[in-house]
Structure 1
Amino acid sequence: MTTIARSEVLLCEARFYAFHGVMPQERKVGAEYTVSVTVGYDYAKAAESDEVDDTLNYAELYELVKHEMQQPSKLLEHVALRMGEAIFQKWSQAAYADIRVMKNNPPMGAACAGAGVNLHLVNDKTKKC
């Protein structure tokens, strides 16, 4: 007998062009972003059934992230929190979400690949982490 101790659905480094930023120019011109999401989700039923309806569909997860990236915000912290709240609203059985939003080549005069935020949210409905 096999026991699944932990299962997650992943969206790795999805790329978007969006209009987030504190400076008005950032919200006007936009920038490239990379988003990664890990959702703690018990997909034991899906592993047994081989049916997409029994899991958290990563194509739907991508569309949710895409929708949130299209809503301009000043802070990436706000964008990440909106994503997490939307994930828990759509998939109430999700235990947690790790969300990373990176602005590629940020306009701060530094030579770096990106700057951004990581957010770890625990779904109060499940209390798993």
Structure 2
Amino acid sequence: MATQPVFTISLQNVHFRAYHGLYPQERVEGNDFIINLAAQYSTANPQIVSLDDTIDYGALYGIVQEVMARPVDLLETVVQQIAQLILTQYPQVLEVRVSLEKTKPPIADFNGSAVVEINLVR
């Protein structure tokens, strides 16, 4: 019995300037964000030789760009939307993990970043 290969395709340390946040100032000034995502997918093809046999990481980046361009209040909403769109558009994806880091959260005397991550399994 042949095993079906499982691959992981990732986008790492993808930087965006976006306008997510609860506070009006965040919607005006924006913030710097870093996205990391990993999508595990299976394929019936034992050899990947064509883009049609895999998932185009440029298309994954397009999904991230689309969601990051629409300001929302919560980081959880952003990661949920990205993960759901990937699962919807790519039925071969078995699991997707997305993290979103806000590099300068509006917290007094805070030196660090805030990160939200989601892991969805089909």
TM-score in terms of structure 2 length: 0.90
* Structure 2 unaligned residues grouped into runs of 5+: none
Partners in 1 of 2:87 and 2:9 — Cα distance? 13
8 Å Cα contact 2:22/2:73 also seen in 1: yes
TM-score in terms of structure 1 length: 0.85
Partners in 2 of 1:14 and 1:98 — Cα distance? 14
* Structure 1 unaligned residues grouped into runs of 5+: 124-129
Which ranges of 4 or more aligned residues in structure 1 deviate by more than 6 Å? Answer: none
Match of 1:62 in 2: 61
Q: What SS does the aligned partner of 1:85 have?
A: helix
8 Å Cα contact 2:36/2:100 also seen in 1: yes
Partners in 1 of 2:104 and 2:18 — Cα distance? 13
Match of 1:71 in 2: 70
Q: Which amino acid aligns with 1:33?
A: F
Match of 2:14 in 1: 14
**Shift in Å, 1:6:** 3.7
The sequence identity of aligned pairs, in percent, is 29
Q: How many residues align?
A: 120
Alpha-carbon displacement from aligned partner over 1:18-48 (angstroms, at most 9, x marks no partner): 0000101101111110000010112462x61
As a proportion of its length, which structure holds more strand?
A: 2
